[in-house]
Amino acid sequence: MADGAPAGQPRRFVAVGQYMTDVVAALPGPLRTGTDTPADVRVMGGGAAANTAAWLAHDGHPTTFAGRIGDDLLGRAGRAELERGGVECCLVVDHRRPTGTCVVLVNPDGERTMIPDPGANQALVPADLPDSLFSPGSHLHLSGYLLMVDTSRMAGLSALDRARPRGMTTSVDVASVGPLADTGATRFLSWVSGVDVLLANGAEAALLAGLPAPAEGTGLGDAVAHAVAAARILRATASTVVVKVGPHGAIAVDEHGEEHVPAEPVDVVDTTGAGDAFAAGFLPAWCDGAGLHAALLRGNRAAARVVARVGARP
C-alpha cells in the first residue's frame, strides 16, 4: 500500500521504458516457412512501459512516459498518439538510431511471438530522465526490458535510485522470459531488490525463484500453487509480488497474505500487451490501498480489455 499523493492532487504515475512501433501480423494458421502466409497486418503503438502509460491515462490517471525515440516518422507518430491519449511525454529524440520496432506474430489462439529491434531505446541514459520526474507521492513503474539491455541498464537503475529517496513508490514488470534467461535471475533480482511491487508471469516468476518452469497446460490448482510458491520466494526481493497466470487469472503475495483472482471470461484474440494493461489496472488500486483482491480484480479486468482485440493500446 502506498502513501497518498499531496492533499487535493491525484497521484501521478511515471512509466519509464521502451517505446516501440508494433507491426502486428495476425496469422490464420501456422507460419509457412519459405513462402507466403497471408495475415491481417497492422501497425500500432507498442512498448511495455508505453502501453502501461497509455492505459493509465485512458483510465484517467495523470501519467508521464519517459523514453527515447528516433528522429523519424514512427517516433513523431508515436509521440502524437500518446499525447492524444492524455499521456505527458518526456521523450528524448535520438538523431542516430531509429524508433524501436517490434514484429509481433499472433497465432489463431492469441499467443504471440515478438521479434524486436530496440533502436533508440537501447541508448536511454540517466541524463534522459530529468529530476522533475521524481516527486513525492508519485509512483514509478519501470519496464524490466531496460534493465536487461546493457546500454540502457543504468537509466533503469538511476530511476529506481532517485525514486526511493523522493518518497515515490516503485514497481517493476519483468517483461519477458527470454531476455531474463539471457540476463540471469540473480543479476536481475539484485537490480530490483527493494521495489514495492514486482510483476511477472508464471514463467518469469519461476525462473526468478529458481523453480522449474510451469508445464504447458497446467490446470488451475497446480498453476496457482506454483505461482504462489514462486511469489513467496520472491517476497525477499519485493514487498508485494504479483504473478499473472494467463487463463487462470493472477495471484499476489504480500506481508498480509495471499490472494488469487480468476481471469475474466473473454474470447482471446491477441495477448500482446495483456500484462502491460494488467499493471495499469492493478497499480492504481494498490496505490490507493484497495487491497490485493480488489487490485487483482482490476488488473484482470484491464487485461481482458486487451486480449479481446488486436493490439496493445486503448
Residue 78's nearest CA partner among 59, 96, 54, 62 is 54
pTM for this model (two decimals):
0.92
In the chain, what are the domains? Answer: 13-31+38-307 (3.40.1190.20)
Mean local confidence (pLDDT), 140-152: 96
Alpha helix positions (H), the chain: 48-58, 73-84, 144-147, 153-163, 177-183, 185-192, 202-209, 220-234, 274-287, 292-307
Residue 217's nearest CA partner among 202, 233, 200, 234 is 202
Tell me how far apart the alpha carbons of residues 233 and 231 are, in angstroms, rounded to a whole number: 5
What pLDDT was estimated at residue 127? 97
Return the C-alpha cell found at 43: 501497425
Least confident interval from 107-116, 140-149, 202-211: 107-116
Q: Is the pLDDT confidence value at 5 over 60?
A: no
Q: Is the pLDDT confidence value at 200 over 60?
A: yes
What values do phi and psi take at 88, rounded to 5?
A: -80, 125
Mean local confidence (pLDDT), 124-143: 97
Least confident interval from 24-28, 211-215, 289-293: 211-215
Q: Is the pLDDT confidence value at 2 over 90?
A: no
With the CA atoms of 59, 111, 41 and 301 taken in that order, what torsion angle do they form, in degrees rounded to the nearest 10?
A: -20
